[in-house]
Amino acid sequence: MSSARSVALDPGRSVVEQLRERVAAMESRMEIKAAGEPVPTLPGLAGLMSLHAGATYAVDSASLALALAAGASRAGEWVGFAGWPDFGAEAAAELGIELSRTVLVPDPGEHWLEVTAALVDVLRVVVLRPPATVDERTAAVLDSRLRTRSAVLVVQGDWPRVEARLSLEGSTWSGPAAGAGQLEQRRAHVVVRRGARPARRVELAWPGVRPVAPDVPRRVREIHRASG
């Protein structure tokens, strides 16, 4: 399996300076989109919401953060993760994130805002775990950068300015009936909230982030077996 490009930095030089050098080397690979244009999402999320260039989205779990980055990565875009020391490469690859086009800055430290802005300059989707509470002024700085560069910011945690907030509700796991072995599937309702609009929700299953088919009533199953 290929690995994410974890950014190895020289401790004797500025973190932001080194990151900008690497970003400049990649910049020609990025096709600029207009702010507001759609950015690919996974099929399982397509009927629930869409991502748009220049916008910020908040999630409450690593599972949703990976899912929002996966659609763009599958479509050939570069994505990045900042503040993810526990980044799960296997889980990311399972969703379709191409690790060879993934930039990982596990610990951006005190310069996290500058690091995130540098990633936004060249990557289509940037997933951030902010290390501290973010105020309106800080959010506005990145908002402007996102619109200029037509990137998408996904924040795991609180953020004052977002296009939508996604959360997981009622998560359940299933696995071997005997209780031994690995868990096989996770089901959860993904809920999308946009301002004052009514919340939208859909039940999805992991791995794959696919819609859960409605359960077939027991009586229908019995009839099917009898007629077969």
Residue 208 is predicted with a pLDDT of 79
- Chain centroid, CA 75 distance in Å: 14
Task: Confirm whether pTM is higher than 0.75.
Answer: yes
Residue 46 is predicted with a pLDDT of 85
- Taking only the tens of pLDDT, the chain with its 228 residues reads 445 655 555 656 666 676 667 666 665 555 556 667 899 999 989 888 899 999 999 999 999 999 999 999 999 999 999 999 999 999 999 999 999 899 999 988 888 998 999 899 889 999 999 988 889 998 998 999 999 999 999 999 989 989 999 999 877 777 554 455 455 678 888 999 998 889 998 888 887 788 887 654 444 334 334 434
DSSP-assigned beta bridge partners for residue 103: 5, 80
Under CATH, which architecture does the 5-164 domain have? 3-Layer(aba) Sandwich (3.40)
Residue 34 is predicted with a pLDDT of 61
Q: Are 189 and 169 in contact (CB under 8 A)?
A: yes
Residue 26 is predicted with a pLDDT of 61
Smallest Cα–Cα separation from 123: which of 153, 155, 166?
Answer: 153
> What is the rounded CA–CA span in Å between residue 152 and residue 52?
7
Q: Is 195 left (phi over 0), alpha (psi -120 to 50) or beta?
A: left
Residue 225 is predicted with a pLDDT of 41
**Residue-range domain boundaries for the chain:** 5-164
Peptide bond into 40 cis (omega under 30): no
